[in-house]
Each structure stands twice: as C-alpha cells, then as structure tokens.
A and B are shown apart, each in its own frame.
Chain A
Amino acid sequence: ETGVTQSPTHLIKTRGQQVTLRCSSQSGHNTVSWYQQALGQGPQFIFQYYREEENGRGNFPPRFSGLQFPNYSSELNVNALELDDSALYLCASSLSGGDTEAFFGQGTRLTVV
C-alpha cells in the first residue's frame, strides 16, 4: 500500500461548476504533485507543491489551482469546469530530489457533463 489517499474516488460535475479534489500524502513526504490523465493517455503534469509553495507548473490554465497544507496534504481546485476536464486526477507524493520515487494515489475520476 502506497499510503497516498485521494478523495473522492468518483465525482460528477456540471460544466461551469467548481471542484476540489483532496490528497493525503505518504507520511514524511514533503512534495506533492498532481497529474491529469485523460482516457487512453499518459498522465500530464499539472503542478507541484514543495513545503507549501508551488514548485513548478505544467501547461494548464490558471483555473487549475492548488494548495499544500502544513501536514503536506494537498488540494486541487478547478474552476469553470469544461467537458475536457473529464479525466482521472492523480496525486503523487515524494521526498525532494529528482531521483526519488513518486508514490501515486488511486486517483479521482472526474466526469464533467
């Protein structure tokens, strides 16, 4: 078991709404990354938080935002949902360092209708 938990597991939202996804990182990990995995695609890097600060962002618009809390858990917020936001959202926690293993949660399946 990886120790990374995400909630909720499934979610259905209407276009234009806002959504918050949550991630509890593995004990001792100070870095959380979020990925979007569309159906049949590889995961795409959204952003990363390191010690509560954003530490890199992929090619996603500002309506994708996040937070990391002092206990290193994290939230992903998406405003003004679009149909193309339907995807599996994966959270990964790790220690700092590019060679460290990222431990993934099981993901949140978001469907926008």
Chain B
Amino acid sequence: AQSVTQLGSHVSVSEGALVLLRCNYSSSVPPYLFWYVQYPNQGLQLLLKYTSAATLVKGINGFEAEFKKSETSFHLTKPSAHMSDAAEYFCAVTPLRAGGGNKLTFGTGTQLKVEL
C-alpha cells in the first residue's frame, strides 16, 4: 500500500524566512503526489501536484516542490514566508491507476506557524 510520511507535525518560521515542509512517500513505483493546504474550518485546496512530468513543480502562492526518486521525497518549499501562509499542509499520494478519480492517501499534516 502506498503511504506518505510528513516529518514534523509543527513547523515555525519567521516572516520572510524559507519554508521547508518534508514529505517522503512509500511506493514501489513513482505515484502521483500532491500538496494540499487547509485553513481553519475550511476544506483542502490544492497547492501543486507531481504527475511524472517535470520533477520541479511550481504551485500557487509561491510554493514549489521537487520530486526526488532516489530519496522518495517530495518536499514543499517557499523562499519567503508570509503571515498568510499559516495553515496546515498535507502531502498526499494516489496510485497510477486508470478509471475513476484519484483516491488520495494523506499524511498526518504539518501545522505551519509564521511569526513576526
């Protein structure tokens, strides 16, 4: 079964500092990988996705992630944190399978805090 592991349930950065949220996946073949963001009392919004095209994926709000097969990683980064980035971030994986939409397996999430 595919799974993702998010290292660090809480990450705190200063405004303007680099954001790095870690995600490692477990799969016998490279899957599709996603990063979602969840603001309080809201659903999830897609930040970016990896679907076996370019290994460096750019998303919304200045976020990007790099797929590294050798490290089975898909870490999320942003060069300069903004207060509005404070939220919970989820890494997710779905198998390469035809028929029906993606069936996402989520990590346990990383709560990002941005301090002045």
Is the Cβ of A102 less than 8 Å from the Cβ of B43? Answer: no
Of the listed residues A41, A93, A98, the one surrounded by the most CB atoms of chain B closer than 10 A to its CB is: A98
A40-B109, A44-B106 known; 11 new pairs, CB 8 Å cut-off, are A43-B106, A92-B44, A94-B102, A96-B100, A97-B98, A98-B94, A98-B95, A98-B101, A100-B101, A104-B43, A104-B45
- CB-defined contacts of B109 to chain A, threshold 8 Å: 40-42
Is the Cβ of B104 less than 8 Å from the Cβ of A33? Answer: yes
Is the Cβ of A102 less than 8 Å from the Cβ of B104? Answer: yes
Bound Cα distance A95, B44 (Å)? 17
Could you tell me the distance in whole angstroms from the C-beta of B42 to the nearest C-beta in chain A? 6
- CB-defined contacts of A42 to chain B, threshold 8 Å: 90, 92, 106-109
Bound Cα distance A49, B92 (Å)? 19
Contact surface of A with B, Cβ cutoff 8 Å: 2, 4, 29, 31, 33, 35, 40-45, 48, 50, 55-56, 58, 90, 92-107
A107 with B103: in contact, given A98-B97, A101-B49 (CB under 8 Å)?
Answer: no
Bound Cα distance A98, B92 (Å)? 12
Nearest A residue to B6, CB-CB: A42
Is the Cβ of B43 less than 8 Å from the Cβ of A48? Answer: no
Is the Cβ of A100 less than 8 Å from the Cβ of B102? Answer: yes
Is the Cβ of B44 less than 8 Å from the Cβ of A94? Answer: no
- CB-defined contacts of B49 to chain A, threshold 8 Å: 99, 101
- CB-defined contacts of B96 to chain A, threshold 8 Å: 98
Interface residue B41 (Cβ < 8 Å from any Cβ of A): yes
Interface residue B105 (Cβ < 8 Å from any Cβ of A): yes
Which of B43, B106, B107, B108 is in CB contact (< 8 Å) with A106? B43
Bound Cα distance A104, B45 (Å)? 7
- CB-defined contacts of A35 to chain B, threshold 8 Å: 104, 106
Is the Cβ of A43 less than 8 Å from the Cβ of B102? Answer: no
Could you tell me the distance in whole angstroms from the C-beta of B33 to the nearest C-beta in chain A? 10
- CB-defined contacts of A50 to chain B, threshold 8 Å: 99-101
Could you tell me the distance in whole angstroms from the C-beta of A16 to the nearest C-beta in chain B? 28
